[in-house]
């Protein structure tokens, strides 16, 4: 599971703190005769000639297939989607184009929501989130960085990836199996995240503080132990997300920023595109009768990689 997939799953996990998420149907075309859209594949709406990341949607699970994917044909097939985040940010007008991110093999780069995507609204609950942004790195108490993250609605949250480390520590000095290895070419890694919660109210310090405390507690309770959300989007392997710390990050006369650091566990697989030359293979012949028997019956050759 990549950090990009993990970040979007975390964003989807926070949706209940924002309110109902928008939903709709994309008309998806394959680039060949047929293709498929996997469950959880994400698409970003194109609004005003630019990608509107806050309106990102994901393909819901197809109950008719074992892996939840949606078969797609060249002429176009409907694929139901939901917004990752709750609230009106996911609402888009009819005929809005969406770009798949990352691109899907065998699927055209963009798809269209003919009837639009609708139904997202703020819950109106006290201290409910109004905005969640993803940002590359946010490590210093600088509100210039918050502006770059385009956080404009409060209470708001900025999610930043912090680090990824092997779950059982650095590589061992001596040869031997690693405790966290879950299969050949697979390892368990911990992704560490920083979630900055920004409360900005001009009415009173007491209201701002109460709002921030409630939001922080809601976020901790939502994330702690979470593994899968929204039909199966994976936030973390067992035993789920772990809250590492929560503390005050910055204070100004009109804003409070709290930091919630937490870790998720992901399986990382080795990816190889190597093509082996013919001289790296050999052939073995197996006979079904002892040498010299008449007539000898040979099985087809078996090719074995020599790597």
> Tens of pLDDT along 91-136?
999 999 999 999 999 999 999 999 999 999 887 655 588 888 887 6
- 139 shares its domain with 250: yes
Asked which of 136-150, 162-176, 183-197 is least confident by mean pLDDT, the reply is 136-150
- 139 shares its domain with 258: yes
Whether 180 is covered by a domain: the verdict is yes
* Parent domain of 171: 131-269
Whether 124 is covered by a domain: the verdict is no
Whether 226 is covered by a domain: the verdict is yes
Structural domains counted in the chain:
2
Whether 12 has a pLDDT exceeding 70, the answer reads yes
Most confident of 119-123, 218-222, 269-273: 218-222
How far from 125 is each of 21, 122, 128, 179, 196, CA to CA, in Å? 15, 8, 5, 45, 20
Q: Which one, of 287, 284, 283, 282, lies nearest residue 299 by Cα? A: 287
Last residue of a domain, which of 118, 146, 180? Answer: 118
- 58 shares its domain with 80: yes
Q: How far apart are CA 76 and CA 116, in angstroms?
A: 16
Whether 237 is covered by a domain: the verdict is yes
Asked which of 61-70, 74-83, 116-125 is least confident by mean pLDDT, the reply is 116-125
Q: Average of pLDDT values for 44-62?
A: 90
Position 249 confidence tier, pLDDT thresholds 50, 70, 90: confident
Last residue of a domain, which of 90, 118, 146? Answer: 118
How far from 205 is each of 158, 215, 254, CA to CA, in Å? 22, 15, 8
82 close to 57: Cβ distance less than 8 angstroms? yes
Q: Which residue has the higher pLDDT, 153 or 230?
A: 230
3-state secondary structure of 38: coil
Position 209 confidence tier, pLDDT thresholds 50, 70, 90: confident
Phi-psi region of 240 (alpha: psi -120 to 50; beta: other; left: phi over 0): left
Whether 288 is covered by a domain: the verdict is no
pLDDT at 257: 85
Residues paired with residue 150 on neighbouring β-strands, in sequence order: none
Position 173 confidence tier, pLDDT thresholds 50, 70, 90: low
Last residue of a domain, which of 86, 118, 150? Answer: 118
pLDDT at 48: 81
Whether 304 has a pLDDT exceeding 60, the answer reads no
Asked which of 34-48, 51-65, 292-306 is least confident by mean pLDDT, the reply is 292-306
């Amino acid at each position: 599971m990549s950090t990009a997939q993990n970040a979007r799953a975390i964003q989807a996990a926070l949706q209940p703190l924002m309110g109902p998420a928008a939903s709709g149907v994309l008309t998806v075309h394959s680039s060949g005769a047929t293709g498929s859209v996997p469950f959880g594949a994400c698409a970003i709406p194109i609004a005003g000639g630019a990608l509107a990341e806050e309106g990102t949607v994901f393909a819901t699970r197809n109950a008719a297939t074992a892996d939840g994917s949606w078969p797609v044909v060249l002429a176009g097939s409907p694929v139901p989607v939901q917004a990752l985040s709750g609230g009106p940010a996911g609402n888009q007008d009819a005929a809005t184009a969406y770009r798949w991110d990352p691109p899907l093999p065998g699927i055209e780069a963009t798809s269209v929501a003919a009837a639009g995507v609708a139904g997202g609204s703020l819950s109106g609950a006290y201290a409910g989130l109004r905005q969640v942004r993803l940002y590359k790195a946010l490590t210093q108490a600088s509100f210039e960085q918050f502006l770059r993250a385009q956080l404009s609605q409060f209470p708001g949250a900025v999610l930043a990836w912090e680090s990824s480390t092997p779950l059982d520590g650095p590589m061992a000095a001596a040869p031997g199996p690693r405790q966290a290895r879950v299969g050949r070419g697979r390892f368990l890694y911990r992704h560490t995240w920083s979630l900055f919660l920004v409360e900005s109210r001009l009415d009173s310090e007491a209201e701002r503080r109460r709002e921030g405390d409630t939001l922080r507690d809601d976020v901790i309770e939502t994330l702690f132990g979470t593994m899968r959300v929204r039909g199966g989007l994976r936030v973390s392997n067992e035993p789920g997300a772990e809250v590492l710390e929560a503390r005050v990050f910055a204070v100004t006369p009109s804003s409070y920023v709290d930091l919630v650091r937490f870790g998720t566990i992901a399986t990382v697989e080795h990816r190889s595109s190597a093509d082996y030359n013919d001289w790296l293979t050999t052939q073995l012949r197996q006979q079904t009768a002892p040498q010299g028997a008449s007539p000898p019956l040979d099985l087809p050759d078996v090719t074995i990689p020599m790597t």
